[in-house]
A and B are shown apart, each in its own frame.
Chain A
């Protein structure tokens, strides 16, 4: 594995694979800003093998594995040969419509990964409405920079590091600077938060949580309603949720979300210890 020094290197690596591709497959869909941020923080390494380029992104005590493969068989032939699979715990996301994933899932399992979690994407289409003044909601505030460590601790304590793409402190600080984290404080601590990313007509909820001592007080509901009303230009609201988390799915369905057909199988590998 060698470090990725620029976003352009990634595109060139993808190009090399795609040039001879018969059935190009990938799980690597980074937006430019995220890619540049990973490169700037030295989080990304790469290895090109026969008709496949792998990318590894460091995250806490493990790493995410991404691939661009000329075909599923090229992916299957090389994934088990990666040296990093023997030295690091890895998580790989296989994303797409469920019916299209069978072969890649089987090949990843043959390469040493085991199924860990399955997420589904939910979407909510909003009617176009005229932007209006959003009244301040009592108790709801936009997070400030000093809140970042507390927000990170809450997210790490509430979500799964392998499946939920947990943010780093610098990502949280960037989201705060973009006014994309809303919080409710009670008893001098953050009782609830919603962390979202809005890009034009689409808004993605990354994390919505109520801290355990504050459950069943209506804080989550207050927060998400305020979030919707604060995004009048958005036409499509999306999020990923663990498929077995029926409690969360029912809450989202209550607010009009429904599965849009995309699923994300998360598989993990254990390093070889001998």
Chain B
């Protein structure tokens, strides 16, 4: 199973996601990337992230993404 930073690196290899605390405002993830990420997380962790959870606050940084995964039933 891939880790969240590994999945992010596959989506946007040019960015260092460990160096940012706000992926959205730092321009590292756009809305298309967010949907790609949701799809990758669903597949990787065998979950289904809810539509109402697909909001920028949940994709702000590694901590919020991991919290979202836990809330969706995964163990990141």
Spell out A's residues near B (CB within 8 Å).
Answer: 11-12, 14-19, 21, 24, 26, 29-32, 68, 95, 125, 198-203, 234-236, 262
Q: Which residue of A lies closest to B23 (CB)?
A: A200
In the complex, A14 Cα to B12 Cα: how many Å?
Answer: 25
Q: Which residues of B contact A29 (CB under 8 A)?
A: 30-32, 34-35
A205 to chain B, nearest CB (A): 14
A-B pair number, CB within 8 angstroms: 62
Contact B51 A200 (CB under 8 A): no
A53 to chain B, nearest CB (A): 9
B32 to chain A, nearest CB (A): 5
Q: Which residue of B lies closest to A202 (CB)?
A: B27
Contact B54 A14 (CB under 8 A): yes
B54 to chain A, nearest CB (A): 7
Q: Which residue of B lies closest to A11 (CB)?
A: B52
Q: A15-B52, A200-B27 are in contact. List 9 more A-B contacts (CB 8 A).
A: A11-B51, A14-B52, A14-B54, A18-B50, A18-B51, A26-B35, A29-B31, A200-B22, A200-B28
Contact of B15 among A30, A31, A235 (CB under 8 A): A235
Contact of A15 among B14, B30, B50 (CB under 8 A): B50
Q: Which residues of B contact A234 (CB under 8 A)?
A: 27
B56 on interface, CB distance cutoff 8 Å: yes
Contact of A14 among B25, B39, B51, B56 (CB under 8 A): B51
11 A-B Cβ contacts within 8 A?
A15-B50, A19-B51, A24-B39, A26-B35, A125-B14, A199-B24, A200-B28, A201-B28, A202-B28, A236-B15, A262-B32
In the complex, A12 Cα to B39 Cα: how many Å?
Answer: 18
Q: Which residues of A contact B50 (CB under 8 A)?
A: 15, 18-19
Contact B30 A235 (CB under 8 A): no
Contact of B27 among A17, A19, A199 (CB under 8 A): A199
Contact A201 B51 (CB under 8 A): no
In the complex, A31 Cα to B32 Cα: how many Å?
Answer: 9
Give the size range of B's interface with the partner.
20 to 34
Q: Which of A11, A30, A202, A262 has the most chain B CB atoms inside 10 A of its CB?
A: A202
B70 to chain A, nearest CB (A): 19
Which parts of B4-46 form the interface with A (CB within 8 Å)?
A: 12, 14-15, 22, 24-28, 30-32, 34-35, 39
Q: How would you classify the secondary structure of chain A's contact residues: helix, strand, loop or mixed?
A: mixed
In the complex, A24 Cα to B30 Cα: how many Å?
Answer: 19
Q: Which of A18, A125, A203 has the most chain B CB atoms inside 10 A of its CB?
A: A18
Q: Which residues of A contact B63 (CB under 8 A)?
A: none
Q: Which residues of B contact A199 (CB under 8 A)?
A: 24-25, 27, 30
B1 on interface, CB distance cutoff 8 Å: no
Contact B31 A11 (CB under 8 A): no
Contact B14 A16 (CB under 8 A): no
Q: Which residues of A contact B52 (CB under 8 A)?
A: 11-12, 14-15
Contact of A21 among B15, B31, B48 (CB under 8 A): B48
In the complex, A16 Cα to B51 Cα: how many Å?
Answer: 8
B75 to chain A, nearest CB (A): 22
Q: Which residue of A lies closest to B22 (CB)?
A: A200
Contact of A31 among B14, B31, B35 (CB under 8 A): B31
